[in-house]
């Protein structure tokens, strides 16, 4: 599976912080939520980088409208993906596909 080689060591790292063996599953779910948040952060960076390349013609002189376009597209794209069913339900459970 594509995500398993990364998921297993990181889940093991987070499970080491569990105070009781009964809380290991909770720690793995916390890890899943934090990694999903990092994914969304990377998505915002990617979208704003690509839109900046498309919109800005002069790197030294970015107008307010261009800045709103860049940041707005990153925000809308990331929020649309964050609250989609496929991503949301993968983010709140400790499973890897």
In tens, the pLDDT along 30-50 reads 999 999 999 999 999 999 999
Does 59 have pLDDT greater than 90? no
| Mean pLDDT estimate for the chain | 92
**Residue 1 — very low, low, confident or very high, per pLDDT cuts 50/70/90?**
low
CA distance 31 to 42: 16
Residue 74, Cβ density class (10 Å: 0-12 exposed, 13-18 middle, ≥19 buried)? buried
Task: Measure Cα distances from 82 to 5, 12, 70, 77, 90 in Å.
Answer: 24, 25, 18, 9, 10
Q: What is the pLDDT of residue 97?
A: 67
Does 78 have pLDDT greater than 90? yes
Q: What is the pLDDT of residue 66?
A: 95
pTM of the shown model: 0.84
């Amino acid at each position: 599976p594509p995500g398993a080689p990364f998921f297993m060591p990181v889940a093991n790292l987070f499970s080491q912080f569990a105070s009781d063996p009964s809380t290991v599953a909770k720690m793995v779910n916390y890890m899943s939520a934090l990694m999903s948040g990092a994914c969304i952060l990377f998505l915002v960076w990617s979208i704003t980088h690509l839109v900046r390349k498309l919109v800005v013609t002069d790197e030294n002189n970015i107008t307010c409208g261009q800045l709103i376009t860049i940041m707005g597209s990153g925000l809308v794209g990331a929020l649309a993906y964050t609250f989609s069913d496929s991503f949301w339900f993968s983010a709140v459970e400790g499973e890897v596909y």
